[in-house]
């Protein structure tokens, strides 16, 4: 992947989305359900698209909201629905559409009491708070966000009563019904004007910010951060966490600077990502360049994406940490400093996360739960306490309260950001210093992801491979120790292939948006060995796919 020449530099006027045209297209453009790309489709984080491309428009959100109403009836979910939105331009009109449909269907919708933005973790926290101890009147929620995606994008995701991302049983049903409604020209969609909805009995308010921020001592040692006088910074990257960070600083009396308190639907204050696009990716050194440049001003600086379900950790001594590195440090610290957690609580990781996590987990004497990509796979364990920590290589994670009960069942970039300061306060050393300790004990892995061009047919075949399709016995000079097409932690399909050796591995997964497959790879023998794994991974995949490989 070639890096754009302006990556990491401030956005210019020509880079900015034309918000008025984007919003007009939301209402004026209508999808053609006969075109596959314009239908409702739920990925791992909901339905996403842009009004310019007729992939995220009023029709999509009206149909999807109606489908969710009908799904709730089918599931017997009759409690409130918590509705949040981020700062993307399309989030507000989509919020309006959703409220109009939910209220018309008699769904009790709870929106932010201050009419503000709402991070994903605050919605998950609200659902779990309401449902704790209940067996009836259960709540669910919707977050309107495309996460870290560019400013022209919109997103719509559903969280059932378990509080986490919906599984394919729910999203498949909702998407199918939404597309039926699109095909019927929205016949069957119930809707009332927003003014009527807001004055009626079905729209209420909820203090998302106050409830979440006041409860933080249950999951973070804020006293230690305050007592140690840690100088920390938070950059919401123009996202939904902006007011949350201000409230955290004030209510918990922390030496915390919100370095960018602005919100702007063009996100014109961002530095460009690797490909020259504006993207609020807090794990990207290019998107985080302005915060990294100030690293000497703070002991720990952190960033969040637009809905605050991801975290980026910047330390004065090392700059922006690789997400895998921080996950390994967080796991090692938490399992040593949370005596209230169940003794049998496991460590959860996705199959494409670093094997450093495996080594740290083994050293802790804990079980490892390795699952496919998607935070939804951690939900059952976080709910019942059998998983203490669940994390993804893409900088998303959550973990249990201090007493071992669930805090959130969706990714929470705010608590992971605060945890970095707790680690520094309690141990006197930054997370990056702790990671150097881990490499001294367990080795220093090289990790990377590349994209390999392929065909649509090959992607479909890759997603359905079996371990028996892989004939290779060696990888980069080492015997292959496992060929996986299902996750060892829960037996669910990986949607691709993972091949491991004693000191390295690769995983190949088809892209959901491009005619490429992604190769994640890691080596504990250094960059040259990693490059060899990446090269041979292409051959292994090509041989397994046969004629469909190219």
Distances (CA, A) of 492 to 165, 372, 373, 495: 16, 7, 10, 9
Please identify which of the residues 45, 51, 65, 147 carries the catalytic annotation. 147
Report yes or no: 522 and 446 within 8 Å, Cβ to Cβ: yes
Whose tokens are 């409230």? That residue is 247
- Give me the long-range contacts of 22-25 (CB less than 8 A, separation at least 24): 22/50, 22/51, 22/52, 22/89, 22/90, 22/152, 23/51, 23/89, 23/90, 23/93, 25/51, 25/52, 25/57
Ordered DSSP codes for 364-420: HT--EEEE-SSGGGGHHHHHHTSEEEEEETTTEEEE--TTSS-S-SS--HHHHHHHH
Element (H, E) at 457: helix 456-463
Ordered DSSP codes for 277-311: S----TT-TTTTHHHHTTGGG-SEEEEE-TTS-SE
> In a 3-state reduction of DSSP, which class is residue 347?
strand
Q: Quote helix, strand, coil % in the chain, to nearest 5.
A: 40, 20, 40
Distance CA 103, CA 146 (A): 23
Distance CA 81, CA 62 (A): 16
Report the Cα–Cα distance between both ends of the chain, in Å, rounded. Answer: 19
Both structure tokens of 189: 């969609």
> In a 3-state reduction of DSSP, which class is residue 354?
coil
CA torsion, ordered 525, 527, 531, 532, to nearest 10 deg: -30
Radius of gyration of the chain (CA): 23
- 147 as an active site residue: the answer is yes
**Cβ neighbours of 393 (radius 10 Å):** 22
Distance CA 244, CA 306 (A): 13
- Nearest in space to 175 (alpha carbons), one of 64, 55, 338: 64
Catalytic residue numbers read 147
């Amino acid at each position: 992947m070639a890096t754009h020449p302006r990556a990491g530099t401030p956005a210019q006027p020509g880079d900015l989305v034309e918000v008025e045209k984007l919003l007009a297209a939301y209402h004026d453009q209508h999808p053609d359900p006969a075109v596959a790309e314009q239908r409702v489709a739920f990925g791992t984080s909901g339905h996403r698209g842009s009004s310019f491309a007729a992939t995220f428009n009023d029709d999509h959100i009206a149909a999807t909201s109606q489908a969710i109403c009908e799904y709730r009836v089918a599931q017997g979910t009759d409690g409130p629905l918590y509705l949040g939105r981020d700062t993307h331009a399309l989030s507000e009109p989509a919020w309006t559409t959703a409220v109009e449909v939910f209220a018309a269907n008699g769904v009790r919708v709870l929106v932010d009491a201050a009419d503000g933005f709402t991070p994903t973790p605050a919605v998950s926290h609200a659902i779990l708070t309401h449902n704790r101890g209940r067996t009836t009147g259960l709540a669910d929620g919707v977050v309107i966000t495309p996460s870290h995606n560019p400013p022209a994008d919109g997103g719509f995701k559903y969280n059932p009563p378990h509080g986490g991302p919906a599984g394919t049983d729910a999203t498949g049903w909702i998407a199918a019904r939404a597309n039926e409604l699109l095909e019927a020209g929205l016949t069957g969609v119930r809707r009332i004007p927003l003014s009527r909805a807001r004055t009626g009995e079905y729209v209420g308010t909820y203090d998302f910010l106050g409830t979440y921020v006041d409860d933080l001592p249950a999951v973070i040692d804020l006293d230690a951060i305050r007592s140690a006088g840690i100088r920390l910074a938070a950059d919401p990257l123009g996202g939904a966490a902006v007011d949350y960070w201000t409230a955290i600083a004030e209510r918990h009396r922390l030496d915390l600077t919100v370095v960018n308190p602005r919100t702007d639907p063009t996100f014109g204050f961002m530095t460009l990502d690797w490909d020259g696009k504006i993207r609020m990716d807090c794990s990207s050194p290019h998107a985080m360049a302005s915060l990294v440049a100030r690293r000497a001003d703070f002991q720990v600086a952190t960033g969040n994406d637009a809905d605050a379900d991801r975290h980026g950790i910047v330390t004065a001594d090392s700059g922006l940490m690789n997400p895998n590195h921080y996950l390994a440090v967080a796991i090692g610290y938490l399992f040593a400093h949370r005596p209230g957690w169940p003794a049998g609580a496991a460590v959860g990781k996705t199959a494409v996360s670093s094997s450093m996590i495996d080594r740290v987990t083994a050293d802790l004497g804990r079980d490892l739960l390795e699952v496919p990509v998607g935070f939804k796979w951690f939900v059952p364990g976080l709910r019942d306490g059998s998983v203490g920590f669940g994390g993804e290589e893409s900088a998303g994670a959550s973990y249990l309260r201090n007493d071992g009960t669930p805090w959130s069942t969706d990714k929470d970039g705010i608590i992971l950001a605060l945890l970095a300061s707790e680690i520094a306060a309690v141990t006197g050393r930054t997370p990056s210093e702790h990671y150097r300790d881990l490499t001294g004990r367990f080795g220093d892995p090289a990790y990377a992801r590349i994209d390999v061009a392929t065909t649509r047919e090959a992607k479909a075949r890759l997603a359905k491979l079996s371990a028996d399709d892989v004939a290779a016995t060696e990888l980069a000079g080492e015997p292959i120790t496992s060929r996986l097409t299902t996750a060892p932690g829960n037996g669910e399909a990986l949607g691709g292939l993972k091949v491991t050796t004693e000191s390295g591995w690769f995983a190949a997964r088809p892209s959901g948006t491009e005619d490429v497959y992604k190769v994640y790879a890691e080596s504990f023998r250094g960059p040259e060995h990693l490059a060899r794994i990446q090269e041979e991974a292409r051959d292994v995949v090509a041989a397994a796919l046969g004629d469909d490989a190219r």
